[in-house]
A and B are shown apart, each in its own frame.
Chain A
């Protein structure tokens, strides 16, 4: 902000910005006063918008911006003056400034010069065109995702197989670190959630089956549901939310800070150091977590069975033995390593796709969780069809 005098504090009445237009001889004058600063710009803008451009009766009429009354000015004020002066020029008045100090003149000249720059237009496509465009983009991105994920699966598999020939490439520390983070530390929350869901399913089952006098069969329902579906699905969804997103965020922020490029130039393969330990740790951790999730869900069901049906623990366990066998347990368990591969692959792949900005990191973390959960559920459905076909 530029001040006219070396006067440091302005009296209040000198601050109030304003202007008037007068005709003196053959000169239309805009007499401005007060503080023409950005804080006052909104009011000045409105008042100047209402101002009509004077129409010169003959061509020897001129315009003048008398700014000798202006005490303070900044770019916003200068821009408003510039806009008015320019409108007057276009209306056929040759317009000049009067009463500018040296510093005001520099600013006003600068604003006049910069004000001439052409502004780029943003072209907005037609709504229909945009719709078609978005749809094509969406469809191609699904296709590209499928291709990308398959290619990545191939890369990870070949990286894994290479470990048998060159076992020293395996990063043991990293593997155990991720086993701890994705496995051990996820245990309490997964056990708690499975326990609660087991209890809820048991309670609902009893309520629904009671009119038929079949409430003891709620135990069968809970047992089969827990072992075949709930245990593995809930665990996989929790792990996708907990660890899949963490993988994307960790790898993504390393990508943002060019750490991954640095690794490559140092001859370190990110596949060995970042991807394989994570995916393998998840492949080990998820079945173990699923096993504990199954037990927690059955325990939850047992507690609820005691509460609503009065079954004691030994009866409950006997009934479980009648209801399920090893096949049911394996039908759930077999899905766990596959779900782990999906979550690990999606998490790592999305991390590697992160680009420079924080926004990109955020959107890839979201994408990783959504895609992982979606694919885990698809996997579950495929397994359900397959297992029922082979009669398990």
Chain B
């Protein structure tokens, strides 16, 4: 286990390099994820935000560098140790990635079936509990993914990610494609579940509202590495980097930022 400043580092990435063909996306990327935080990864398109999530979760192999999961080097894990670690995280893919041939309830039970030996009635109950915890209506339980709206598919995907009560959840663009009301609800859901279940949340996002309302820390991916990490307010007040300045001090950011809103309200008054 790695402890830094009294906080446990659950994921440590060091000196990562990756290129696709002749196009190098990172060179010497390093990042720490602490237990219990909600971390957002931001960056321009093509900077490899989603690829970084895939590298950490082992779906893509990096060219160089070290990924440590819960203090263990991902490269040296035995298949069994890898399986044990996979039980400790859940992943929400962009469109939910639900299995289309299974109902929502069966989808949520897939991780339980694969990793544990639980009686069916208990799996039904737990899956149903997860379903209501992510805010789906009870009648969604026996529907197939194709019968759900985009927002409901995301919620169902989140319920599947939470099926084994993971320590970390990875969210890939959780609010993309949702309407503002749905996106706000989803932000609150993430915050609430994080508090209820004691989760560490790693999310890839573009959504400034999400960043300002739920994230504790933001890591900025630019110039082939993580150029800065810090709280949203810090990054906004001291950008120190052209991309961060554009992102956090642009028109949209001003509208989303709580401090800016307070200033506007004060001006109105």
Instruction: Write the residues of chain A forming the contact surface with B, with a CB cutoff of 8 angstroms.
Output: 1-3, 8-9, 37-39, 41-42, 45, 74-76, 79, 83, 103, 106-107, 110-111, 114-115, 117-120, 122, 355-360
- Name which residue of chain A comes closest to B193, CB basis: A110
B4 to chain A, nearest CB (A): 13
10 A-B pairs within 8 Å (CB atoms) are namely A8-B3, A38-B164, A103-B198, A110-B196, A117-B132, A118-B138, A120-B141, A357-B100, A357-B145, A358-B101
When the two chains form their complex, are residues A42 and B122 in contact, meaning their CB atoms are under 8 A apart?
yes
CA distance in complex: A110, B126 (Å): 13
Instruction: State the 7 A-B residue pairs at the shortest beta-carbon distance, nearest first.
Output: A74-B165, A357-B100, A114-B132, A356-B146, A2-B198, A357-B146, A359-B101
Q: Do residues B129 and A114 form an inter-chain contact, with CB atoms below 8 A?
A: yes
- Give the number of A-B contacts (CB < 8 Å): 85
B142 within 8 A of partner (CB): yes
Counting CB contacts under 8 A, is B139 at the interface?
Answer: yes
B116/A41 in contact, CB under 8 A: yes
Q: A2–B197 contact, CB under 8 A?
A: yes
Evaluate contact between A357 and B144: CB separation under 8 angstroms: yes
Verify if B114 is at the interface (C-beta below 8 Å from A): no
Q: Which one, A1, A83, A356, A358, contacts B165 given CB within 8 A?
A: A1
Assess the B129–A122 pair: CB atoms within 8 A.
Answer: no
Closest B residue by C-beta to A78 = B129
Are the C-beta atoms of A107 and B197 separated by less than 8 Å?
yes
* B1 touching A122, Cβ below 8 Å: no
* Shortest distance from the beta carbon of A117 to any chain B beta carbon, whole Å: 5
Q: What A residues does B117 contact at CB under 8 A? A: 42
Nearest Cβ on chain A to B136's Cβ, whole angstroms: 10
Alpha-carbon distance A114/B138, docked complex (angstroms): 10
Contact A8 B142, CB 8 Å, known A41-B116, A76-B126, A117-B132: no
Is A38 a contact partner of B165 (Cβ separation < 8 A)?
yes
B196 contacts A45, C-beta separation under 8 Å: no
The A interface, classified by DSSP as helix, strand, loop or mixed, is helix
- Chain A residues whose CB sits within 8 angstroms of the CB of B130 once the complex forms: 75
The yes or no answer to B8 lying at the interface (CB within 8 A) is yes
Number of interface residues of B (CB under 8 A): 33
Residues of B at the A interface (CB closer than 8 Å) are 1, 3, 8, 100-101, 112, 116-119, 122, 125-126, 128-130, 132-133, 138-139, 141-142, 144-146, 162, 164-165, 167, 195-198
B9 shortest CB reach to chain A, Å: 11
Chain B residues lying within 8 Å of A118, measured Cβ to Cβ, are 138
Taking the nearest CB of chain B, how far is it from the CB of A199, in angstroms? 43
* A74 to B129 Cα, complex, angstroms: 12
Chain A residue numbers with a CB within 8 Å of B145 are: 357
A79 touches B126 (CB 8 A): yes
**Judging by beta carbons under 8 Å apart, are A42 and B198 in contact?**
no
Q: Is A41 in contact with B1, judged by CB distance below 8 angstroms?
A: no
B122 CB contacts on chain A under 8 angstroms: 41-42, 45, 76
C-alpha spacing A38/B146, complex, angstroms: 29
Q: Known contacts A2-B198, A110-B133, A119-B141: does B118 contact A42 (CB below 8 Å)?
A: yes
- By a CB distance below 8 angstroms, the chain A residues around B126 are 38, 41, 75-76, 79
The residue in chain A whose Cβ has the minimal distance to the Cβ of B198 is: A2
Note all chain B residues with C-beta closer than 8 A to A114: 129, 132-133
Instruction: Enumerate chain A residues within 8 angstroms of B138, measured Cβ to Cβ.
Output: 117-120
Q: Which residue of B lies closest to A355 (CB)?
A: B146
**Partner pick for A79 among B129, B144, B195, B198, CB 8 A cutoff:** B129
Given the complex of chains A and B, what is the CA–CA distance between A357 and B148 in angstroms?
Answer: 12
The one of A9, A42, A356, A359 that contacts B1, using a Cβ cutoff of 8 Å: A9
CB pair B146–A79 under 8 Å, yes or no, is no
**CA–CA, A358 and B145, complex, Å:** 11
Distance from B163 Cβ to chain A, minimum over Cβ atoms (Å): 8
Task: Tell whether, in the assembled complex, residue B129 and residue A106 are in contact, meaning their CB atoms are under 8 Å apart.
Answer: no
Which of A45, A106, A120 is B118 in contact with, Cβ under 8 Å?
A45
Closest-CB distance, B212 to chain A (whole angstroms)? 24
Report whether A75 and B100 are in contact in the complex, using a CB–CB cutoff of 8 Å: no
- Establish whether residues A37 and B165, one from each chain, have CB atoms under 8 Å apart when the complex forms: yes
A360 CB contacts on chain B under 8 angstroms: 146
Bound: A117/B139 CA distance, A: 11
Taking the closest CB of chain B, its distance from the CB of A263, in whole angstroms, is 22
Additional pairs, 19, CB under 8 Å, beyond known A38-B126, A114-B129, A355-B146:
A2-B197, A3-B198, A9-B1, A38-B112, A38-B118, A41-B118, A42-B122, A45-B118, A74-B165, A75-B129, A76-B122, A83-B125, A103-B195, A106-B196, A120-B141, A357-B100, A357-B101, A357-B144, A358-B101
* B41, chain A: closest CB distance, angstroms: 24
B70 to chain A, nearest CB (A): 10
A320 to B107, CA, bound (A): 63
CB-defined contacts of B8 to chain A, threshold 8 Å: 8
Best-surrounded residue of B119, B139, B167, B197 (most CB of chain A within 10 A): B197
